[in-house]
Structure 1
Amino acid sequence: MNPTRDEDALNWAGDDDPTLQNGSTDPARTEPSALPAGWTIPQGAAHPTAVPSTTDAASPEPDGADVTAQPDSAAASSAALVGMGILAGMYLLYTVGWFIGVARIEKPISDPVAEFMFSLGAWLAVAAPLAWFGATYWLTTGSPRARRAWLLIGVLVLAPLPFILGTGTLA
């Protein structure tokens, strides 16, 4: 950064807001509370960077995660996120498939109560994939393994058979 803020390439209004300052007038000094547990800044360094402390580099974080295991957990969380996106897309396609399958069904029912019950069941079938995904995601927040298992069970159970088989009649 330039010594004068007027020569900066990107100068935004409000850059001089005192609430945006970290409280230190020395730009080379970082707040200790901003560092992860077990990390220190070497004293007297020309360009201070946070490095793991040599005394407790292998000690676990307070939440139980090891500092050295972060790249593996990041890769695992990326794979889990991609998998969750694929499953969410499948459930969305199942909802569209159920909608198309229900729209194809011809209703030869003349009784008003039976016709209402049939329509209710058909629209509940359309909503079932979204309801399953939402309930599974909400009820299994503490257990990712159970979430994946229940979502995979839903993929098998909620397949839109009227759309897949191409049937359009009750008989």
Structure 2
Amino acid sequence: MTSGYSDGDNRDDALGWAGDDDPTLVSGDEGGETGTSTGTAADAGTGALEPPEGWTVAGPASAVEAQNAADAALTRTATTSLALVSLGIFGGIYLLYTIGWFIGVARIQNPQADVLSEFMFSLGLWLAVAAPAVWFAVTFWLTRTHPRARIGWLLLGVVLLAPLPFIAGPGVIA
């Protein structure tokens, strides 16, 4: 029975690349057999190898830091659909709160006559306008790894940062 190749090539040649038989090429699993490793026998158990001369380590320098980085990567969880929807709802609420504070602050009359008191009053009003957006951003940033705490802090902010001058009118807060 013939192989179907007229020039005498082997069928296995179709599964290889030109130069696979080059003796200077070493695959990853053969590194320990050829003696190319620069580590000692004690280093082989921990996986710690010294880099070649002139090279630097770009990742964590120690095995403990590498393990901590791997653990941190494992603890990062994917955001669920419910969490994404709730973040969208909270984002909309905080945007409405910022707009409500802006409208409510525009209605408030400044009763202060002193320059410093007038400046502090207007500074407080503008900080009140910025508070919902800052609360949302800081909560989102500080609770990256704790989705339940994120929802709790955002819910607390919804209660604490309600735009009272907009809701109750300008005469209530003076």
Range into which the TM-score falls when normalised by the shorter chain: 0.5 to 0.7
Give the match for residue 124 of structure 1. Answer: 127
The alignment's TM-score, normalised by the length of structure 1, stands at: 0.55
Percent identity over paired residues: 62
Amino acid at match of 1:138: W
d(CA) in 2 for partners of 1:156, 1:170: 18
RMSD: 2.5
Query: By how many angstroms is 1:108 displaced?
Result: 2.4
The alignment's TM-score, normalised by the length of structure 2, stands at: 0.54
**Is the CA contact (8 Å cut-off) linking 1:107 and 1:170 kept in structure 2?**
no
Q: Cα deviations across residues 50-74 of structure 1 (Å, max 9, x unaligned)?
A: xxxxxxxxxxxxx59xxxxxxxx99
Query: By how many angstroms is 1:118 displaced?
Result: 0.0
Structure ID, larger Rg: 2
d(CA) in 2 for partners of 1:169, 1:80: 36
d(CA) in 2 for partners of 1:122, 1:144: 31
d(CA) in 1 for partners of 2:118, 2:167: 24
Name stretches of at least 5 consecutive residues in structure 1 with no aligned partner.
1-23, 25-62, 65-72
Give the match for residue 95 of structure 2. Answer: 92
**Is the CA contact (8 Å cut-off) linking 1:129 and 1:158 kept in structure 2?**
yes
Call closer, same or farther: CA 1:165–1:83 in 2, change over 3 Å: same
Query: By how many angstroms is 1:126 displaced?
Result: 0.2
Runs of 4+ in 1 over 2 A off after TM superposition: 168-171
Give the match for residue 156 of structure 2. Answer: 153
Q: Count residues in correspondence.
A: 102
Give the match for residue 28 of structure 1. Answer: none
Q: Secondary structure of 1:137's match?
A: helix
Equivalent residue runs for 1:1-171 within 5 Å: 63=74, 77-168=80-171, 171=174
Normalized per residue, which structure has more helix? 2
**Is the CA contact (8 Å cut-off) linking 1:91 and 1:129 kept in structure 2?**
yes
Name stretches of at least 5 consecutive residues in structure 2 with no aligned partner.
1-14, 16-73
Amino acid at match of 2:156: I
Amino acid at match of 1:135: V
**Is the CA contact (8 Å cut-off) linking 1:104 and 1:168 kept in structure 2?**
no
